[in-house]
Structure 1
């Protein structure tokens, strides 16, 4: 009887701990409680090591306040041309979106820059070709940050060109994620280090586990060459992104190549992450923030997101753009696990007559996340949202198109992990010709997709519904 009482007290303690710690996010707390009921003690151990809130750590708070002080007062960025009012947008469709612009201006260190030239890239082959060309031309530095960097043909191809540039005297800095690139042998980087390049791991798995930060990953994909050319998007470094994965086949993804002020914003994000992983503060000098030749051009905003920031900027930009829609909202995402605000915004827009369409994968890289995504489909269809499954291969592009005034792409999936746990970075575009390019790509994706019809989807079997229930239950943790 004593052992039973002690076990009950221990279980109540575990439940109370989760309820108190997660009171701000009931859905996440409910998911962890479900795991706890299924796996007593073991579930709590997982919670202890995985679920800690990154942003509430005193060390991170001190670092954030210190960085703000230094960036604003001690290391001012070079002067870039920014938009100060909605009327300054070249795109007339954006000038009336004062609520959206009010949100854009509220983000610290995320200005809307106007001296940019953007190239939208719809495949890894095209992205890798241009990246390798730009890296070959580098004269001062090459900065690369990737969640995954595989030891395969393309992984070694980039590795070899970086070694060659390092031997030429170019500064080479690489960051990879400790979980995303966990399977890549540590010795893979020895050649680059011997050549003079610097390589660091973001939160190595063993350290992150015992520091209770293993759940917080750097999911960003950034390349910056000489401070004036930048790449950002959904593509990591590896053969699978070129369609060589036998299971997933053709890989559909989106990246952008940016010249101009927005490349400096990508540089700033990389430099902040570089300081975090190795403690070295690179100087805010003309070597890293050079003058560029883009005098006028497109309006671009680089939006970093992460668990150490005060605001959930990427989530808030999605929401603000959705509620600004009058004609269309087109979304591609590999994982459709929206929070309640985005779910409501999409449903409300569709009910108000906005053409809302979402493309998700037909082939899944994770069955659990696919079940979670499908668990949202029926209620979206009932509201008038049209949902499609991409059939040509694996849909990994993360894009949003709203009317003719807004488009966005980057590293963030439309899921709770990207909004609240991962370090992410997106780029938002406001010029009509760039938005039109994203729209054209989306329409091509529709041609390679199959629409989910409400009548047929509603007749799915009990087993499939049970899978979706499991996925929905665990969705806050995915």
Structure 2
């Protein structure tokens, strides 16, 4: 018996090291950033067994065979639909500003998706305003409502939105609701699902979390978009999930979540509707395109061009990351960024440093406290390097600053669902709006000023005096960059 146990132990060790060798070879051969590969090798070798398991769960972009095949087949038909927009009156590159012109070129060449003029935008920055506006538009719906959210958390104003949807369904409005499984567990455990379904609302879990799927696809690949489209006439997108902050994560110790949404009318609404159609088909296999917008523009009205930039498995790789770096590289005076999660790739870090070193005023506004301690400490690992390059860093004390925004030269902005981390820029289903509208951008810039007024400026001299323990935590969590 002793020889048997000795043999079993030896065989287990051999099997483990063969597995480690195989995973190591996989990491080395996989084409990606060197820093990411090195970080994964560190995780695999420093944390026995668990490191290998983490790589299987989170190490590669694996959507699952059925969804991956479906997404691959969908790309050509969607590019064909997007390409039809280039021929409409709303696509007028000759009237675009310099910031959006190159972004239109990039998105058009990679996805067939053009920037479109003729939109009206409203920046909404309080939960009460956002929810009441959404409810009012739902109450006016006649034909269809399309929604996709990462989190739907029952309680407060979110329940009022749910009731408005049920009433709309009783009026005969066709409603499709797509919610991320990992982000909305309380919703799917609540009685709202049965209430909505009995009213005729189609409710679907995106990327369902299940023990049976644990090794079939990457678990931290999430449906992170936030989109509402009503009658293909009104749309919303931005950073806010379907939550009432007064009822959400009250025990997390970070305060209320601070968010924005953008209400849009005009031809961009149909593009956001098409993004919802993409997500719905990836999950259900059901195809339905929105109508092609009329794209009639009054020559005397403001143009307000918007480029919708989606990303995620099946779509052209790293498109939002490319748009972000292109926008930053075009800056002539200033770049101001707000993000709750700041764990940039090496390339993005170098872009920010180089921009500051060009003499551009680069400002970064992030929350002082974060709901993810790992991200909070990993973010701080970049402070010294950024400040030495000339980047100004503000830590926001008014809650969890969840707004995702980039303002360039006070003339052009990016707003949407995208965090400044590798998960958002390289992995999740995300969407951002590139907005070439100086009036709207000024509103966004003034809101950022309000954030700075509630922030503390991080000084390099004070930062250098932080404790050895803090430095240790920063570097430790920085090494886990691939998992953040």
TM-score (norm 1): 0.91
Q: 1:293 to 1:121 in 2, by over 3 A?
A: farther
Which deviates further from its counterpart, 269-278 or 36-45? 36-45
The DSSP-based 3-state class of the residue aligned with 1:110 is coil
Corresponding residue to 2:55 among 43, 47, 56: 47
- Counterpart of 2:352 in structure 1 is 346
Q: Deviations over 1:239-260 (max 9, x none)?
A: 2278883523233212100001
- Counterpart of 2:70 in structure 1 is 63
- Counterpart of 2:89 in structure 1 is 81
**1:263 paired to 2:269:** yes
1:36 Cα deviation (Å)? 2.2
Corresponding residue to 2:193 among 174, 189, 193: 189
Q: Aligned partners of 2:358 and 2:375: how far apart in 1?
A: 29
Q: Aligned partners of 2:306 and 2:294: how far apart in 1?
A: 17
**1:32 paired to 2:43:** no
1:324 Cα deviation (Å)? 0.8
- Counterpart of 2:207 in structure 1 is 203
Q: 1:471 to 1:32 in 2, by over 3 A?
A: same
CA contact (8 A) 2:68 2:313 kept: no
Q: Deviations over 1:270-307 (max 9, x none)?
A: 0111112222212544xxx5658864531001111113
Q: 1:235 to 1:74 in 2, by over 3 A?
A: closer
Q: Which residues of 2 match residues 251-400 of structure 1 at below 5 A?
A: 251-285=257-291, 291=294, 295=298, 296=301, 297-400=303-406
1:4 Cα deviation (Å)? 4.7
CA contact (8 A) 2:156 2:246 kept: no
Q: Aligned partners of 1:126 and 1:191: how far apart in 2?
A: 26
Q: Which residues of 2 match residues 91-130 of structure 1 at below 5 A?
A: 94-95=97-98, 99-100=102-103, 102-130=105-133
- Counterpart of 1:214 in structure 2 is 219
1:142 Cα deviation (Å)? 0.8
- Counterpart of 2:159 in structure 1 is 156
Q: Deviations over 1:111-135 (max 9, x none)?
A: 1100100111122222111111111
1:61 Cα deviation (Å)? 5.6
Paired residues in the alignment total: 469
CA contact (8 A) 2:271 2:308 kept: yes
1:50 Cα deviation (Å)? 2.8
Q: Aligned partners of 1:5 and 1:281: how far apart in 2?
A: 51
- Counterpart of 1:230 in structure 2 is 235
**1:414 paired to 2:420:** yes
The DSSP-based 3-state class of the residue aligned with 2:217 is coil
Q: 1:4 to 1:457 in 2, by over 3 A?
A: farther
Q: Aligned partners of 2:149 and 2:237: how far apart in 1?
A: 10
1:436 Cα deviation (Å)? 1.4
Q: Aligned partners of 2:101 and 2:155: how far apart in 1?
A: 48
Q: 1:12 to 1:84 in 2, by over 3 A?
A: farther
Could you list the runs of 5+ residues in structure 1 that have no partner in the other structure? none
Corresponding residue to 1:464 among 465, 470, 477: 470
CA contact (8 A) 1:127 1:255 kept: yes
The DSSP-based 3-state class of the residue aligned with 1:263 is helix
CA contact (8 A) 1:125 1:242 kept: no
Task: Quote the RMSD (CA, aligned, Å).
Answer: 2.5
Q: Aligned partners of 2:249 and 2:133: how far apart in 1?
A: 20
CA contact (8 A) 1:60 1:308 kept: no
